[in-house]
Structure 1
Amino acid sequence: MTCSPLSARARAAALSLLTLLALLLAPLAAAQVDPVTAATARLIKAEREVRSVDGALDLSTDREARDSLRERVNAAREDAAAAADDLTDQLALVDARAAQLGPAAAGEAPDLAAQRARLARQRTAIDSNSKRGRLIAVEAQQLVEEIDRTEAEQFSQTIAAHVPSPLSPGFWGAVLQAAPRDLRRIEVVVTLATRQLAAGWRAAPVWPALLGLLLALAIAVPGRAAAVRIGLRFLIDDAPGHRVRRSGNAIWRVLVGTLTPLLASFALVQGLRWAGLVPTAVNGLADTFVQASSFAGFTVAVTGAVLMRHQPSWRVAPIADDVAARLRPFSWLLAAVAFLSITVNAFNQMVGASAAALSATQVLVALLHLLILAAALVALGRLRAARAEDEQAPARAGLGAASLVAWTVVVVATFALLLGYVGLASFIVRIVAWATVLGCATFLLMAAIDDVATTVFARDGGLGRTLSRALGVRGALIEQFGVLASGVLRLTLALFALGLLFSPFNGGNGVGALVSRLGTLAQGVQVGGIAISPGTILRGVVVLFIGLALVRGFMRWLEQRYLPATDLDGSGRNSVSLVARYVGVALAVIWALASLGIGVERIALLLSALSVGIGFGLQAITSNFVSGLILLAERPIKIGDWIRVGTDEGDVKRISVRSTEIALADHSTLIVPNSELITKSVLNKTLASPLGRIQVQFSVPLESDADKVRAIVAQAFADESAILDDPAPAIFIDSIADGRIFFNCFAHVGSPRAAYGARSAVFTVLLRRFREEGMELGTVPQRLELLSRDPAKGSERVETPDGEPRSSV
């Protein structure tokens, strides 16, 4: 039997369709791997990685190797923990299926018994692997702690190493004793390098070296100047806003100042290598030369961008011209010492210098750093003293505290150096130098972030107008978003900079591990589960100080940056500022107590125990505190309001959570407890409206022309500049009695504070005009009536001031 061509083509099409379907379903089938099998495979891989790292730690490894091992064991720990979690989930599923089967019964079906046995075996295997994963994670964490402990021990040995004092003959005697061997090592390296250099000079062409030298000179001198001019021209022509141009110029100068020495040194070294003029022995020193040149260039550029000595109008930092001019040479000296330190250390490692030579190098480098820092502090002190004598300007407490801290660092490092703790002194001065450079860079980046964020999200900017028109977003919200974005980015940058502070010094791991180990050693007496020791108390004080400093910085940002971008008035800003300040201080105190080992539950228990005593003993203070919170929340009285409390009235100057300060007219200050403002009547003249009203009352004789009187009063109101046209003045005839016409007139002024002066001016004009018109201006004359009763007539006898009797029944 033969097949027709049509059936053959149908079978071929069906086969092709099945093949395509199999190819499409293959990834899906591969993806549906048993979770238990996948988790077990991850556990096996993580265990192998942990065993490999454990074996590698048996060998003496350097810093880079330990960092690599830490990353590997951390990854293995995370894999093991994740696999154990997955197995725990699968174990829960197996338990759920076993629960569905119910308890075993006698004479149950064989398939149910077999399924129950299979589930039991699965549960045993999964539970065993889950515990195994937890154990692997624990072992990996122990390896991480061992690596950190090793680095902490090495770091502590470095900074605690003691050598003879540099002032003693023994120190320099050791240097002189090791000098012959060090000189022979240098001679060996120099001889080998000279031979390779001579061989390369004869064998390779010289033009790549000359080309590299010319390219380096072109990049370092005219290239740098051209790059600065191009960037400045672009910023002047195209950058929006003065602040963005200023910060952009600083950042561009840092980039140019860092990249030009990097590229120039790289071109020089690469040209020498292409020419075969870099011996193998000094190959590492050549790379170090490039690194040292770039770091020195970065140091000069970032400090120069902060000081901006020759362009004070482009300066970002609030630094005076004389201070910038005096500090600029020290930045060059700092860069030179950094370049010298990096290259000399690399040279010592290359030649294998002795310990005495290394100690002498550390002493010289630390001494140079200390001299630069001390000279800079002396120069700043002289400038402050001269400025205080010339301008009689008050000294700023922050600068004084910073100078005191800097001098303390100099004194401590000097004593450590003189006592023979060379490693500690070297660590201190390097931290100070790196913190100075890093602080300058962080400050410039923060200024640039703030300038860009606040300029882009300005309400009158292009983006702000677009958002307002397209989405109906208020301008204040746009500016608030810019300020908040700036704050978040600057905080992130500050945290990143804090992480980089110890990066050149063993990656920060040795320092952090040392601090953590010192924390575990600072254990004292246990009182109620809380460790009381000098270290604990010191940690609490330091944490409280840091917390209060953070609160102060946050309040400065809130009051100077964020609140001005809102639509709140001065009183609203004050309310937000006060609440934020007290909340921040409370959080700082709680943080300090938590650092002492006092948990939040203990703090809550303490507060609940003290609540009864606070309620009775501090009732008045508590009442004022709660009243202050009500004032800040409801704002019936705001800063700047004119209020009357009892017989005193004045302007509200300050509202705190305990009391309110009112400035009276005699320049004194009335301090009123907040409970008085809540529980008693207070007249707020500016709460509903900022306007003030004056009232003028007088009388004229009955025969006077009332229309003419109204015209005189209206003209007096119109001539007074303090009186407003809207609302318009009002003139009323209040009554007619005793032969006189009584007028009651009202007018409005811009503020209640202007009412008294405007009323006095109107009275002055009215007195003059009525005198000119011959009208009598006054009130009803007082009349005394004496009443007596005549017994005979049964009537009252009234004696008037004229002496004429008048009878009254």
Structure 2
Amino acid sequence: MTMRVARWCAMLAAGLLLAPGTGMAQPSPVDAATAQLAQAESDLRSVDRALDGRITPDQRADLRDTATGARGAALAAASQLSQQLALIDARLAQLGPSPAAGEAADIRGERARLTKQRNLLDSAVKRGRLLGVEADQLADEITQSQAEQFGQMISTRVASPVTPAFWSAVLHAAPRDTRRVAMLVAHGADSVAQGRRGALPWAAVLGLAAAVAIMLPGRLAAQRLALRLLIDGAPGHRVRRSANAIWRILVGTLAPLLATGALVAGLRWSGLQPQGWDTLFDALVAAASFAGFAASTTGALLMRHQPTWRVAPIADDVAHHLRPFSWPLAALVAFAILAQAVITATGISGAAVSATQVAEVMLHLALIVGALVAVARLRAARADADADTPARAGLGAASVVAWGMVATALIALLIGYLGFALFVVQLAAWAVILGSAVYLLMAAVDDIAVTVFTRDSPAGRILSRALGVRGTLIDQFGVLLSGVLRVMLAIAALGLLFFPFGAGDGVGSMFGRLATLASGVTVGGIFISPGAILRGLAVLFIGLTLLRAFMRWLEGKFLPATDLDGSGRNSISLVARYVGVALAVIWALASLGIGVERIALLLSALSVGIGFGLQAITSNFVSGLILLAERPIKIGDLVRIGTDEGDVKRISVRSTEIELPDHSTLIVPNSELITKTVHNKTLASPLGRIQIQFSIPIEADADAARDIIASAFAAEEAVLDDPAPAVFIDSIVDGRVFFNCFAHVASPRAAYRTRSQLFTVILRRFREDGIELGTVPQRMELIRTPGDPLPPQTQPPA
């Protein structure tokens, strides 16, 4: 296969190089692309052959990297050749279709050469894309084999540690295991004695001295230097705290790494490294580095001796009681790495490996239970001291999950699933370490982004003055950058959660492997199993949790940094919430194997029922979307619907809440606001208008009445000068002069109160000036028709 591909690539390159015009124009890209395809083909064949045998986890990772690199190279070569193919297609288009007869010989020859080149390039492009598909298949096969190995590891059952059979096997294999360990130690001692040859190993001595110098004065000096620089030059208290925490983690991790690296390098340069101890020395460096990372991360989170530099909102008593558990945790991490290295180097029996796993599980359980008991006592003491303060729900949920993991690991240990029990306790320990590091990194990212990109920072002033960027846009960019980086950190943390155990390379692969742990049935082309259902629920929970965190960031940080009013923020928040819920549901359905096309088919089947049974709800939902998009009514508007008038307090996708003057709430379906007349008094203008109508007798002084009204308007502070008040004589009817007066106030809500105050002033002034107010006096007359008799009381006496 490889020779055939090589000959084919050589023929393609020769044909393109010998061709006139196009081949000579760009020989290098085509030549490089064909060679790249051949190399990708060779790499994929080597990966395929390696998968036929037994591979180690390290080899599996290398093979995955090789397959991924070959895929990228093949697709890049196919893209490069596609560009050349497009050039040839353009030249063929210029030549036009081949006529039936009468074409010149040179044109016919050119068309034949271009057609041959096009066929070769088209085959190469298709082959490159096919190599990309093959690389994806090989990567999936590698991932599947890794998942199978992990599943086999956690599902293997041995004799229970509480049974005599387990310890009988350990005691039976103990003599041989002891001899293997003794042989390894004796071989190492002999190698060291032969390497010394009576001379002082100066390289080893210098390595030891360097290790001591790095761990003691070097590490302390680095921490003091960082504190001095942060106090003098770091912008803002938040940035100082976050930078100090990150620096402590770096120093706490790099110091053991450099110290053990210097010690091991000194031993190797002195010739004191025993043969076959490479794995042990490498494990020593890894154990020291990882233990330092664990201790420094938890220490930077708790900050027991420096509470003012603490990033997390942790009380002093909590930090004081939890800090002692950091060192046993780091020691357990180092012990696990070194124990695995010793097991690999000595090849001890399976019974001894099981006993080691039992010891690791018991030590982890003791540490976790001790920490949980300490936390429970602190919570109980705090609850007794302050009974009115509710406990934090997040801490309680974490405690419940931790106790559940402890119970699961203990049950698995008792029934013989040692691999699963060890995985659970190590996962809990790694989750604590990783969660602490990610929390500190998120805090640092948020502090730096929000501090650097703000309108008052040096960078913000430069952007504002040099580029004319508005201050609100700079604040928004800082908040948005913080949110994006924190999301990326959260995704990376989810991918790293199971990575040390060989259980996955990300969230998607982990969920994919859960399906191999349970069997199910296929219904309607959809595979349904308990594992799939649990996976869907887990995906939905993760999606809703991410949505809740996103909404908290959107409503608490991003939207307040914008120029939007309360109604605009509410509209964006509601739309984002419903879109997020929809995406979470679609993600959960997709994890169950229900694709978008099946969801569309289900919705089409339900459309008839929705049309008849949920017509009103659908109408209100669509009307709510229209209200949120067009915003004819916003939160805070003063509206009148029929005889009810009030302030809009909340707009949802189903209904709108209006607070009436008596403080009751009127809930109006959104369809009513779209299909019926609504009087919005604050939509076009926030101003309110006052109208005063009255009449005076025609004998009264109209000019004096006009002056009284004008002076009352001028004296009232709530009346605006622009638009100016106006006083009009509307009509003269039945011996009375009718006035119609107008004035404007800052808000329609102030119109009623101001109108009442004006009435009070006008009535008092009219009374003082003797101007009569009121209606036309009514008079009733009885008209007698001639010839009608008079009433008895009106007849003259006889």
Which category of TM-score, normalised to the shorter sequence, fits these structures? 0.7 to 0.9
Whole-Å separation in 2 of the counterparts to 1:139 and 1:696: 85
Contact persistence 2:654–2:669 (CA under 8 A)? yes
Q: For residues 646-795 of structure 1, what are the structure 2 equivalents within 5 Å?
A: 646-692=642-688, 723=718, 730=725, 732=727, 751-754=747-750, 779-780=773-774, 783-792=777-786
The offset of 1:658, in angstroms, is 0.7
SS of 2:625's equivalent? Answer: helix
Listed as ranges, the matches of 1:453-468 within 5 Å are 453-468=449-464
Change beyond 3 A, Cα 1:733–1:162: same
Kindly state the Cα deviation for residue 367 of structure 1 after the two structures are TM-superposed: 1.9
- How far residue 341 of structure 1 moved from its aligned partner, in angstroms, is 1.8
Question: 2:235 — aligned with what?
Answer: 240
Are 2:354 and 1:332 aligned? no
Structure 2 match to 1:574? 570
CA distance in 1, matches of 2:787, 2:306: 108
1:255 and 2:250 are equivalent in the alignment = yes
Could you give the per-residue CA deviations for residues 237-286 of structure 1, whole angstroms, max 9, x where no partner exists?
A: 22223332232222112112222222233334444555665544655433
Contact 1:723-1:747 at 8 Å conserved across structures: no
Question: Which string of whole-angstrom CA distances, capped at 9 and with x for unpartnered residues, describes residues 386-439 of structure 1?
Answer: 444414233444444333322222221121111111101111222222222222
C-alpha contact 1:551 1:581 (8 A) present in aligned 2: yes
Any idea what SS the aligned residue of 2:60 has? Answer: helix
1:444 equivalenced with 2:432 (yes/no): no
Q: Does 1:484 align with 2:480?
A: yes
**Structure 1 residues 448 and 123: alpha-carbon distance in aligned structure 2, compared to 1, 3 A threshold:** closer
**What displacement does 1:111 show?**
11
Q: What is the letter of the counterpart of residue 786 of structure 1?
A: M
State the secondary structure of the residue aligned to 2:344: helix
Q: Quick one: which of 579, 582, 597 aligns to 1:583?
A: 579
For 1:235, the aligned partner's letter is: L
Between stretches 467-476 and 119-128, larger displacement belongs to 119-128
Secondary structure of the residue aligned to 2:500 is coil
Report if aligned partners of 1:685, 1:752 keep a CA contact under 8 Å in 2. yes
8 Å contact kept, 1:717–1:762:
no
- Normalised to the residue count of structure 1, the TM-score between the two structures is 0.80
For 1:436, the aligned partner's letter is V
Aligned counterpart, 2:158:
163
**Corresponding letter in the other structure for 2:311:** V
Q: CA deviation at 1:659?
A: 0.4
Supply the AA of the counterpart residue of 2:574. L
Q: Deviations over 1:339-383 (max 9, x none)?
A: 222223223333333222221121121222222223333333343
1:176 aligns to what? 171
Q: Does 1:359 align with 2:354?
A: yes
Do structure 1's residue 230 and structure 2's residue 225 form an aligned pair? yes
Where 1:174 maps in the other structure, the secondary structure is helix
C-alpha spacing 1:687/1:295, structure 2 compared with 1 (3 Å): same
Q: What is the identity, as a one-letter code, of the residue corresponding to 1:459?
A: R
Structure 1 Cα separation of the partners of residues 529 and 230 of structure 2? 57
Instruction: State the alpha-carbon separation in 2 of the partners of residues 781 and 513 from structure 1.
Output: 87
Q: For 1:785, what is the secondary structure of its paired residue?
A: coil
Counterparts of 2:603 and 2:507, CA distance in 1 = 37
**Does 2:619 correspond to 1:619?**
no
Which of 121-130 and 548-557 deviates more? Answer: 121-130
Which of 62, 65, 88 aligns to 1:68? It is 62
Q: Please identify, of 505-514 and 779-788, the stretch whose mean Cα deviation from structure 2 is larger.
A: 505-514
1 CA distance for matches of 2:126 and 2:712?
98
- Counterpart of 2:626 (choices 624, 630, 643) is 630
Q: 1:501 to 1:537 in 2, by over 3 A?
A: closer
CA distance in 1 between counterparts of 2:233 and 2:257 reads 28
| Structure-2 change in CA distance of 1:483 and 1:190 (3 Å) | same
Q: State the distance in 2 between where 1:704 and 1:111 align.
A: 111
- Aligned residue number for residue 5 of structure 1: none
Give per-residue Cα distances to partners, 1:587-617, cap 9 Å, x unaligned: 2333333344443334334434433443333
1:744–1:202 Cα change, 3 Å: farther
Q: Match of 1:663, as an amino acid?
A: E
Letter in 2 for 1:442: V
User: What residue in structure 2 maps to residue 287 of structure 1?
Assistant: 282
Letter paired with 2:640:
R
Per the alignment, do residues 52 and 325 of structure 1 end up closer, same or farther by CA in structure 2, a change over 3 Å counting? same
In structure 2, runs of 5+ residues without a counterpart are 1-22, 792-798
* SS of the residue 2:222 aligns to: helix
Match for residue 405 of structure 1 among 401, 420, 424: 401
What corresponds to 2:639 in structure 1? 643
CA gap of 1:148–1:525, structure 2 versus 1, over 3 A, is closer
CA distance in 2 between counterparts of 1:509 and 1:585 reads 26
1:494 to 481, 490, 497: 490
1:60-209 paired onto structure 2 within 5 Å = 60-76=54-70, 144-198=139-193, 203-205=198-200, 209=204
TM-score (norm 2): 0.81
Q: In structure 2, do the counterparts of structure 1 residues 529 and 57 end up closer, same or farther at CA, with 3 Å as the change threshold?
A: closer
Aligned-pair distance for 1:777? 9.4
Residue type of the alignment partner of 2:595: G
User: SS at 1:651's partner residue?
Assistant: strand
Identity fraction in percent: 62
**Further displaced range: 109-118 or 730-739:** 109-118
| Distance (Å, rounded) in 2 between the aligned partners of 1:562 and 1:525 | 46
Q: Which runs of 5+ in 1 are unaligned?
A: 1-27, 798-809
CA deviations on 1:132-174 (whole Å, 9 max, x unpaired) are 8888777766654554444333222211111111222222222
Cα distance per residue 1:100-129 (max 9 Å; x no partner)? 896999xx9999999999999999999999
Alpha-carbon distance between aligned partners in 2 of 1:748 and 1:112, rounded to the nearest angstrom: 86
3-state SS of the aligned residue for 1:671? strand
Counterpart contact for 2:402–2:428, Cα < 8 Å: no
**In the aligned structure 1, how far is the partner of 2:388 from the partner of 2:492?**
40
- Partner Cα separation in structure 2 for residue 269 and residue 249 of structure 1: 30
**Cα distance between partner residues in 2 of 1:288 and 1:368:** 20
Q: State the match for 1:308 in structure 2.
A: 303
**Alpha-carbon distance in 2 for matches of 1:62, 1:554:** 40
Residues 616 and 416 of structure 1: CA distance in aligned 2, closer, same or farther (over 3 Å): same
Amino acid paired to 1:72: T
Compute the RMSD of aligned alpha carbons: 4.7
The residue aligned with 2:336 is 341
How far apart are 1:569 and its partner, in Å?
A: 0.7
- SS of 1:667 mapped into structure 2: coil
2:538 is aligned, of 542, 554, 559, to 542
Contact 1:699–1:777 (8 Å) recurs in 2: no
Q: State whether residues 624 and 670 of structure 2, in contact with CA within 8 Å, keep that contact through their aligned partners in structure 1.
A: yes
CA distance in 1 between partners of 2:327 and 2:782 (Å): 109
- The CA deviation at 1:179 is 1.9
Deviates more, 1:71-80 or 1:126-135: 126-135
Residue 660 to residue 48, structure 1, CA distance change in 2 (3 Å): closer
C-alpha distance in 1 between matches for 2:79 and 2:464: 50
Supply the AA of the counterpart residue of 1:475: G
Q: 1:674 to 1:202 in 2, by over 3 A?
A: same
Structure-2 separation of matches of 1:322 and 1:88? 66
Query: What one-letter code is carried by the residue in structure 2 that aligns with 1:544?
Result: L
